């Protein structure tokens, strides 16, 4: 990001507030750089973090658990995995194929969730610093 | 195979190589800045990059190695396919977007973001070089086997010469093309590979009356192992130790993918995080289709070619897919499949060479030696010299590893990546307190433990299938070290941080977290 000049909306001296100054400009420091510490503790950013965590934590745990189950069953329950299901296709091969299917399902679910719940929130956080730069 | 057939093979092949070289040349006429050379000016769309990402990832190991492993070992070979698909979820949800937002060219950019620059960049570059080299050695071995089959060369010396020639051609692509040229080769190759594999799969299923079960049925009749190939345990079921080896392999596959340096570098060739995400979604779809097809092709090769014929062919297990092509489509299809396989290897080696050279030039030369004040032109020059050096080393290693299953060799590179990079990346993205000492401990701890365990494993010495079968210094019983070295690296990173060293910089941490999730401050839109 190019170093923006101090924005026009920023008062020249402390205590001299103008009407067009938004509370958002607090998130930009004196050099016009984003104040990351302030953004990190802003409500909008904390909300974004919560939304990210709400999806990726359970999804990651779920797919890892499902994968490890498959691996452990293959290693220690070979008899169960060799039970025929359709013709010569057995439980193990079916389960393996289902791993691929669930991967696609989680991928598409994440893409959809990001588009609906994460991207708008990212835009909101970005707006905290961008309103000011655009005025500059 | 007769001389005339070899001529057809070679011409299909030669045309292909010339055509791609031309494309690389055209695509790279404006390859001047460091950003152009390393990241193609970040100019690719998510879709293009997603296809290129699968092109980068679908290596000889995936095509030749997995179909061979399934054709010989059945179920246990299928494990590779599954691990490599599932692994993309880590890349999608945890790594890709944050990496795009926080870095520029290399893995070192992200690892060193909030740490002391020089030691961490040097460590990241070391890890990148070692991992890429291992990966390339596997690809070179695959190329050797493939060309040996194509030209019907049985002698080890002849195959060694082939590997050397192939390796030189591949390095040329990188020198001429940079990232942009390489990306186009990858896109073309990914499309060709997926088309070939899907058509072959549809043909096979059709041949058996659209009944997958009857392919398996026929396969069990043609395998000396009979029904057992459909069950787990053919290769890894013999003892408790080999079962642990299987779990170790499975861990390396799933955790290594999203920490391979050349895959990580692919997230930089797009303009922003949303495009990076889109890339992974595209890549995941392509992988899912591809790896489902390997199951049919592997068992198809077992059914139509037969396990015995595969293991005794030049190139061994790696020749299952080409032999199957010859069986169903004669010389022309063999030529096409070999050309596609060659393109596969070419594209992957090009990507790896580029990654290794970028990492050395950008992290070591520009940031460690020149303190971040290198002339970008010099940086690109250093990158090109590194590409040549890495290429030469890979050729030598490839000659030594010739004849091994490529998927198995590549799995070692995955174990290295999962040990050296994944813990470091995850800690630095998600753990506030993680500091420079923790970073160094986890990179070097994972890397050295993994390299040492590989050196002293049965993969290198002590058994018939080793690289050095005549000597025995295999002190470590597992052929894939992941189950030991990955947790070790997590532990090292944790201990390094907790025991002391300088405190993590809270400002930098805030910047990294905010930037990683939103892209603020990265200049990306």
Instruction: Decide if A131 is inside a domain.
Output: no
User: For A126, which of B231, B506, B520 is closest by C-beta distance?
Assistant: B520
- Domain shared by A112 and A57, yes or no: yes
- Domain shared by A55 and A120, yes or no: yes
- Domain shared by A68 and A110, yes or no: yes
Question: How do residues B107-120 score in pLDDT, each as one tens digit?
Answer: 999 999 999 999 99
Instruction: Decide if A46 is inside a domain.
Output: no
Alpha helices in B40-106 (DSSP H): 46-57, 60, 66-73, 75-86, 88-90, 96-102
Confidence bin at A25 (pLDDT 50/70/90) = low
Shortest CA gap B255–chain A (Å): 10
Q: What is the mean pLDDT of residues A118-123?
A: 95
Instruction: Decide if A88 is inside a domain.
Output: yes
Residue with tokens 């329950």: A77
Q: Would the CB atoms of A92 and B85 count as touching at under 8 Å?
A: no
- Residues in B closer than 8 angstroms to A72, CB to CB, are 247
| Closest among B35, B130, B198 to B352, alpha carbons compared | B130
User: For A88, which of B89, B230, B520 is closest by C-beta distance?
Assistant: B230
| Closest among B232, B502, B44 to A96, alpha carbons compared | B232
- Domain shared by A64 and A25, yes or no: no
Instruction: Please measure the distance between the N-terminal and C-terminal CA atoms of chain A and give it in whole angstroms.
Output: 14
Please say whether the beta carbons of B38 and B362 come within 8 A: yes
Shortest CA gap A20–chain B (Å): 23
Q: CA angle, corner B252, sides to B299 and A99, nearest 5?
A: 50
B288 contacts chain A (CB < 8 A): yes
Confidence bin at B273 (pLDDT 50/70/90) = very high
Please say whether the beta carbons of B416 and B482 come within 8 A: no
Please say whether the beta carbons of B115 and B138 come within 8 A: no
- Could you say which architecture CATH assigns to the domain B3-26+33-404? Up-down Bundle (1.20)
Q: What's the domain range around A114?
A: 51-126
Counting the structural domains of chain A, the total is 2
Interface of B with A in 56-85 (CB under 8 A): 75, 78-79, 81-83, 85
Question: How do residues B474-514 score in pLDDT, each as one tens digit?
Answer: 899 998 999 999 999 999 999 999 997 788 999 999 999 99
Confidence bin at A135 (pLDDT 50/70/90) = very low
- Residues in A closer than 8 angstroms to B249, CB to CB, are none
Q: Is residue A41 over pLDDT 70?
A: yes
Instruction: Decide if A135 is inside a domain.
Output: no
Confidence bin at A52 (pLDDT 50/70/90) = very high
Highest mean pLDDT among A12-26, A107-121, B205-219: A107-121
Shortest CA gap B210–chain A (Å): 13
Residue contacts between A and B (CB atoms, under 8 Å): 157
Q: Which residue has the higher pLDDT, B474 or B61?
A: B474
d(CA B328, CA B334): 9
What integer pLDDT is reported at residue A14 of this predicted model?
46
- Domain shared by A28 and A73, yes or no: no
What integer pLDDT is reported at residue B5 of this predicted model?
67
Please say whether the beta carbons of B341 and B318 come within 8 A: no
Confidence bin at B176 (pLDDT 50/70/90) = confident
User: For A107, which of B92, B213, B217 is closest by C-beta distance?
Assistant: B92
| Closest among A19, A14, A34, A16 to A133, alpha carbons compared | A34
Q: Would the CB atoms of B246 and A55 count as touching at under 8 Å?
A: no
Instruction: Decide if A107 is inside a domain.
Output: yes
Question: How do residues B202-252 score in pLDDT, each as one tens digit?
Answer: 999 999 988 889 999 999 998 888 888 999 988 888 889 999 999 999 999
Q: Which residues contact B189 (CB under 8 A, 6 or more apart)?
A: B55, B340, B343, B344, B346, B347
- Residues in B closer than 8 angstroms to A59, CB to CB, are 89, 93
Instruction: Decide if A104 is inside a domain.
Output: yes
Confidence bin at B31 (pLDDT 50/70/90) = low
- Domain shared by A33 and A60, yes or no: no
| Closest among B176, B174, B179, B175 to B40, alpha carbons compared | B179
What integer pLDDT is reported at residue B179 of this predicted model?
76
Q: Would the CB atoms of B214 and A92 count as touching at under 8 Å?
A: no
Q: Is residue A119 over pLDDT 90?
A: yes
Q: CA angle, corner B267, sides to B263 and B273, nearest 5?
A: 150
- Domain shared by A64 and A112, yes or no: yes
Helix H or strand E encompassing A84: strand A84-86
The dihedral built from the CA positions of residue A84, A85, A91 and A96, taken in this order, carries a sign that is positive
| Chain B, nearest residue to A67 by Cα | B86
Question: How do residues B320-358 score in pLDDT, each as one tens digit?
Answer: 998 999 888 887 788 788 888 888 888 888 888 888 888
- Residues in A closer than 8 angstroms to B284, CB to CB, are 103-104, 107
Q: Is residue A23 over pLDDT 70?
A: no
d(CA B334, CA B340): 10
Q: Which residue has the higher pLDDT, B333 or A108?
A: A108
């Amino acid at each position: 990001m190019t170093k923006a000049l101090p924005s026009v909306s920023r008062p020249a001296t402390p205590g001299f507030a103008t009407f067009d100054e938004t509370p958002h400009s607090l998130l930009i420091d004196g050099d016009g750089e984003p104040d990351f510490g302030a953004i990190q503790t802003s409500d909008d950013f904390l909300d974004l973090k919560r939304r990210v965590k709400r999806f990726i934590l359970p999804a990651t745990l779920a797919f890892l658990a499902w994968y490890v189950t498959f691996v452990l069953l293959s290693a220690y329950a070979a008899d169960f995995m060799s039970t025929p299901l359709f013709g010569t296709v057995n439980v193990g091969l079916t389960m393996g194929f289902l791993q691929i299917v669930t991967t696609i399902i989680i991928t598409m679910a994440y893409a959809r969730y990001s588009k609906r719940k994460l991207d708008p929130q990212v835009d909101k956080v970005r707006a905290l610093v961008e309103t000011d730069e655009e005025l500059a | 195979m007769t001389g005339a057939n070899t001529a057809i093979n070679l011409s299909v092949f030669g045309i292909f190589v010339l055509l791609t070289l031309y494309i690389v040349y055209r695509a790279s006429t404006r390859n001047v800045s460091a950003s152009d050379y390393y990241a193609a000016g970040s100019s690719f769309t998510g879709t293009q990059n997603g296809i290129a990402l699968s092109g980068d990832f679908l290596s000889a190991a995936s095509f030749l190695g997995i179909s061979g492993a399934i054709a010989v070992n059945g179920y246990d070979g299928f494990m590779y396919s599954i691990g490599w698909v599932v692994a993309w979820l880590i890349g999608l949800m945890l790594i890709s977007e944050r990496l795009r937002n926080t870095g520029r060219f290399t893995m070192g950019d992200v690892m060193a973001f909030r740490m002391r620059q020089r030691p961490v960049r040097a460590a990241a570059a070391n890890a990148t070089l070692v991992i890429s080299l291992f990966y390339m050695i596997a690809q070179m071995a695959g190329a050797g086997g493939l060309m040996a089959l194509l030209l019907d060369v049985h002698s080890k010396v002849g195959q060694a010469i082939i590997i050397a020639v192939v390796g030189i051609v591949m390095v040329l692509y990188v020198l001429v093309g940079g990232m942009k040229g390489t990306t186009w080769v990858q896109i073309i190759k990914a499309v060709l590979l997926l088309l070939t594999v899907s058509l072959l799969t549809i043909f096979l299923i059709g041949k058996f009356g659209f009944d997958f079960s009857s392919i398996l049925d026929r396969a069990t009749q043609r395998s000396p192992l009979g029904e057992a190939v459909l069950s787990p345990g053919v290769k890894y079921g013999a003892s408790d130790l080999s079962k642990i080896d299987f779990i170790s392999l499975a861990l390396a596959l799933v955790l290594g993918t999203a920490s391979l340096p050349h895959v990580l570098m692919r997230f930089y060739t797009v303009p922003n995080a949303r495009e990076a995400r889109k890339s992974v979604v595209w890549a995941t779809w392509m992988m899912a289709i591809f790896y489902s097809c390997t199951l049919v092709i592997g068992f198809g090769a077992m059914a139509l070619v037969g396990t015995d014929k595969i293991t005794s062919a030049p190139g061994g297990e790696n020749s299952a897919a080409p032999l199957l092509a010859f069986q169903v489509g004669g010389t022309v299809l063999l030529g096409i499949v070999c050309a596609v396989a060659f393109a596969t290897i070419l594209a992957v080696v090009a990507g790896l060479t580029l990654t290794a050279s970028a990492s050395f030039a950008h992290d070591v030369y520009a940031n460690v030696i020149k303190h971040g004040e290198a002339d970008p032109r010099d940086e690109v020059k250093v990158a090109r010299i590194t590409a040549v050096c890495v290429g030469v080393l890979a050729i030598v290693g490839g000659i030594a590893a010739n004849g091994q299953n490529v998927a198995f060799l590549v799995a070692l590179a995955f174990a290295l990546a999962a040990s050296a990079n994944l813990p470091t990346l995850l800690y630095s993205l998600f753990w506030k307190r993680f500091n420079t000492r923790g970073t160094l401990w986890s990179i070097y701890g994972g890397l050295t433990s993994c390299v040492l365990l590989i050196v002293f494993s049965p993969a290198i010495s002590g058994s018939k299938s080793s690289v050095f079968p005549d000597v025995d210094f295999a002190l470590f019983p597992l052929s894939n070290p992941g189950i030991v070295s990955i947790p070790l690296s997590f532990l090292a990173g944790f201990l390094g941080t907790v025991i002391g060293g300088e405190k993590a910089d809270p400002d930098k941490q805030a910047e990294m977290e905010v930037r990683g999730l939103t892209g603020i401050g990265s200049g990306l839109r």
